[in-house]
Amino acid sequence: MGVLPVLDFTRLIIKRSPNCKIRLSTEKPAFLKTDSIFYRIFQSLPSTFFELINQPPQLASVYQFSSVEVKQLAFRIDGVFLPNTPELPIYFAEVQFQPDKKIYSRLFTEIFNYLDKTELTNTWRSVVIFPSSSIDTGDTERYAELLNSQRVTRVYLDELTSMEASSIGIETVRLIVEPESTATAKAIEIVNSARQEIMDAAQQREIIQLIETILIYKLPRLSREEMAKMFGLSELKQTRFYQEVFTEGKQQGREEGKLEGKLEGKLEGKLEGKLEGKLEGKLEGKLETIPRLLALGLSIEQIAQALGLDEQVVRQAAQPKS
């Protein structure tokens, strides 16, 4: 599998005014969890979107992925694929994981408001992504002609098992609705495939972080043994969870070290007090990080290497306090 293009993303904001224009902003959209996961998938692996609707994945190379907000009406379209040629359609993507009888009235209102404001003349298509057909509860009678036309494609993720394609992007989407009992094994398969098939280090890292996000979303009590199966030390260091834990420990150590150093330095009137306090604070911060790294599945040796500590110190800190 070749390296797929990583597209720039922006938020399109539409303001109501006599000469309304669409302006681009680099503001990152605030999404719910599921929306955010799909946004990252389409941003990192845009070909996945076209695979979902049985279109050639190569189409991703001539599209730019964005999110759209019709600000004056508080509407937001989860994602828009804008083509770089007028002959190709604009694709509107909507992710719906909760039953909503007004999904279609809201969706078409958003789309037609966008088309009214944009200067683009392209035709359009809409793709609505549901976890299953049981969530597709929107009123359809007034929109039957649109829903039964080529304008709208409805994707039910639990039916993707019938697809022959097994790209990393599709497998990552499938993981979102994978049963909890098999989600960990499926995640391991995807991570292994990413290691073998994706040569671009940044893109491989993004896939691993996506898998991590999905698993934390689906399995918040994932055991350290299961986490250790998926991520080696170097890859675990790249995950957001590891970075947050490690950064938190370092920051805590710095803050406590500065406070202790200043107090001791003032009392003794010596520079050594400040230095000693900082060193002790940093060490304490590292020691408090050890139990959390153990919970992630790291060994004593790996933690000692990552924190720059002696293995005996790590063993002592790992022992339960009586």
Check residue 149 and give its pLDDT: 95
- Do 262 and 217 have their domain in common? no
Residue 5 is assigned to a structural domain of this protein: no
Check residue 212 and give its pLDDT: 82
* Whether the Cβ atoms of residue 92 and residue 127 lie closer than 8 Å to each other: yes
**What is the span of the domain harbouring residue 20?**
11-222
- Do 149 and 21 have their domain in common? yes
- Do 40 and 138 have their domain in common? yes
Query: Which H or E run includes 37?
Result: helix 33-44
Q: Which residues contact 298 (CB under 8 A, 6 or more apart)?
A: 228, 233, 236, 306
- Do 79 and 121 have their domain in common? yes
Tokens of 282: 């940093």
321 alpha carbon, distance to own chain's centre: 37
Number of domains in the chain: 2
Secondary structure (3-state) at 11: strand
Check residue 9 and give its pLDDT: 35
Residue 120 is assigned to a structural domain of this protein: yes
Check residue 201 and give its pLDDT: 86
pLDDT tens-digit profile, the chain (322 residues): 333 333 333 334 333 333 444 433 334 433 336 778 888 899 889 999 999 999 999 999 999 997 766 555 455 677 899 999 999 999 999 999 999 999 999 999 989 988 988 889 999 999 999 999 999 999 999 999 999 999 999 999 998 876 655 789 999 999 999 988 888 888 888 988 888 888 888 888 888 888 888 887 787 776 656 666 666 545 555 555 555 554 555 555 556 556 665 555 455 555 454 545 555 566 777 777 787 777 666 778 877 777 778 888 888 887 776 5
Residue 1 is assigned to a structural domain of this protein: no
- Do 70 and 20 have their domain in common? yes
φ and ψ at 172, to 5 degrees?
A: -65, -40
* Whether the Cβ atoms of residue 256 and residue 274 lie closer than 8 Å to each other: no
Residue 232 is assigned to a structural domain of this protein: no
> 222, 253, 277 — which closes off a domain?
222
> First CA to last CA across the chain, in angstroms?
53
- Do 216 and 244 have their domain in common? no
The Cα–Cα gap between 287 and 281 comes to 10
* Whether the Cβ atoms of residue 6 and residue 44 lie closer than 8 Å to each other: yes
- Do 69 and 101 have their domain in common? yes
- Residue indicated by tokens 């994707």: 155
This prediction's pTM: 0.64
Residue 133 is assigned to a structural domain of this protein: yes
DSSP 161: G
Residue 227 is assigned to a structural domain of this protein: no
- Do 308 and 253 have their domain in common? yes
- Do 143 and 252 have their domain in common? no
The Cα–Cα gap between 53 and 34 comes to 19
CA angle centred on 60, ends 55 and 63, rounded to 5°: 115
Q: Which residues contact 134 (CB under 8 A, 6 or more apart)?
A: none
Residue 229 is assigned to a structural domain of this protein: no
The Cα–Cα gap between 113 and 124 comes to 13
DSSP 87: T
> 172, 196, 222 — which closes off a domain?
222
Task: Report the C-alpha dihedral over residues 102, 107, 108, 113, rounded to 10 degrees.
Answer: 120
- Do 208 and 301 have their domain in common? no
- Do 247 and 208 have their domain in common? no
- Do 98 and 188 have their domain in common? yes
